[in-house]
Amino acid sequence: MKILIKNTKLLSMTDSKIEEKDILIKDGKIEKISDNIEENDVKIIDGTKTLTMPGLINCHTHVGMSLFRNFADDEDLQTWLNEKIWPLEDKLTKEDVYIASMLSILEMIKTGTTTFADMYYLEDETIKAIKETGIRAQISRGLTDLADDGLDELKENVELFNKYNDLYMIDIGFGPHAIYTTNSKFLQKCSDTAKELNAPMHIHLAETKVENDDAIEKYNMTPTEFMEKNHIFDQRTIAAHGVYLTDNDLKILANHDVSVIHCPSSNLKLGSGFLDVTRLKNNGVNVALGTDSSASNNHLSMFKEMNMTSLVSKIHNPKNLNAYEVLEMATVNGAKALGLEDRIGTIEEGKDADIIIIDIDNINHTPNNNLISSLCYSTYESDVRDVIINGKLVYENRKFNGIDVDEIIKRASEDFEKLKER
């Protein structure tokens, strides 16, 4: 299907200019960006009083956890994991993870996310949901050596790679969970396996002060130094959180082109701390955005995450992170983090058509003094009107095409009640 977006304000994210343009989409690609495009046999989307921008990229999620939303709030990370989440996760079934993944993906799409990076288990079920919804993703099996030296989990990750990598807009990575759930031998095995397959890494890194203090006491190294020693950074790596990073850590991350994924809502909610994004940027570290799970965040909205990112950064200096820099983190930087910058992250001719259209004809965008600022500070998730992923209109006039949302909501509620009874 060919799609022609007419008369929209275009923010391409190649720079901060906003211009009124038409956009022609054909065979999943952005074919033409120009004025007054005329085309036959095309679906026309009226872009009057809208702003069109690249789809948002959520670089750290656990979408199979959405059944735990609002279940275990107001705890620190270790209590939350050990006493609340992990005992319940042990009872999850494939059906639970499928329904949770559907719920999460629908929430992400309707709030403007077109690509996400996930770390969890039973990922076949998440991939089933990905194929049904049409979203783009990087999937990693979460890996620990807490049982059977982690070899069964690593085998599952390899099977995922062999089965799904490069299919259905899916890339497969490897997900060694964190320094406190893996040892040197296992991390090196993960690294060797990822190198053999030329697969990326997805890890948690320096999320809490306890994590850092324990690593220094046990290994006389920071978590970042420990991961480098065990060759995790030899492959393209996204490292979630990065709240506690030394100057030497920043040099290591910059030298290895590791992207830190900032998750401000989750960090604040779990009391993990504040990440000074400007400090990382000044040291040459690519920083993208993630929501974390809807269990530790309670929402999967990248617009809320952008707003939080800017506000949290200003505790150090009100000039830190202007609105355009935050938008870059949610688009351009996210594409770079996932190795997809040649395909997504900006709206340019020849790139994949991952596009969101935002209604700006409303109270919260009036007056249109500065639409860049508006996107970061004034836009609500409900302002997302249309979502196009790989040239397919998956969300049109605030409705999903071909998906029974009410049925997913019903099944998710029923599944969680059954889960609690197991």
The pLDDT of residue 317: 87
Q: Token pair of 420, please?
A: 């609690």
**pLDDT tens digits, one per residue of 313-337:** 998 888 899 999 999 999 999 999 9
Q: How far apart are CA 114 and CA 388, in angstroms?
A: 8
Strand partners, 117: 138
Do 238 and 259 form a contact (C-beta atoms < 8 A)? yes
Do 37 and 2 form a contact (C-beta atoms < 8 A)? no
The CA-based angle 365-329-247, given to 5 degrees, is 135
* Spans in the chain with pLDDT lower than 50: none
Strand partners, 384: 358
Question: Phi, psi at residue 21, to the nearest 5°?
Answer: -145, 165
The pLDDT of residue 276: 94
List strand residue ranges (DSSP E) for 88-234, in order.
113-120, 136-143, 170-176, 201-205
Q: Is 106 left (phi over 0), alpha (psi -120 to 50) or beta?
A: alpha
List strand residue ranges (DSSP E) for 177-221, in order.
201-205
Write the burial class of residue 317 (CB in 10 Å: 0-12 exposed, 13-18 middle, 19+ buried). Answer: exposed
DSSP-based helix, strand, coil % in the chain, nearest 5: 40, 25, 35
Q: Token pair of 57, please?
A: 């990229």
Instruction: Quote the DSSP letter at residue 352.
Output: B
Do 227 and 194 form a contact (C-beta atoms < 8 A)? no
Q: How far apart are CA 54 and CA 114, in angstroms?
A: 9
Q: How far apart are CA 60 and CA 42, in angstroms?
A: 36
Q: Helix crossing, 405-421 with 94-110: angle to 10°?
A: 140
* Three-class SS state of 59: strand
The pLDDT of residue 252: 98
**pLDDT tens digits, one per residue of 264-273:** 999 998 899 9
The pLDDT of residue 422: 66
> In this structure, are strands 259-262 and 287-289 parallel, antiparallel, or unpaired?
parallel
Question: Phi, psi at residue 378, to the nearest 5°?
Answer: -120, -15
Q: Residues near 234 by Cβ (< 8 Å), separated by ≥ 6?
A: 191, 195, 256
What is the value of pTM for the model shown?
0.97
For tokens 């109270």, the residue is 363
Q: Residues near 393 by Cβ (< 8 Å), separated by ≥ 6?
A: 1, 3, 43, 45, 386, 387, 401
Q: How far apart are CA 288 and CA 329, in angstroms?
A: 4
The CA-based angle 15-21-25, given to 5 degrees, is 95
Q: How far apart are CA 224 and CA 245, in angstroms?
A: 8
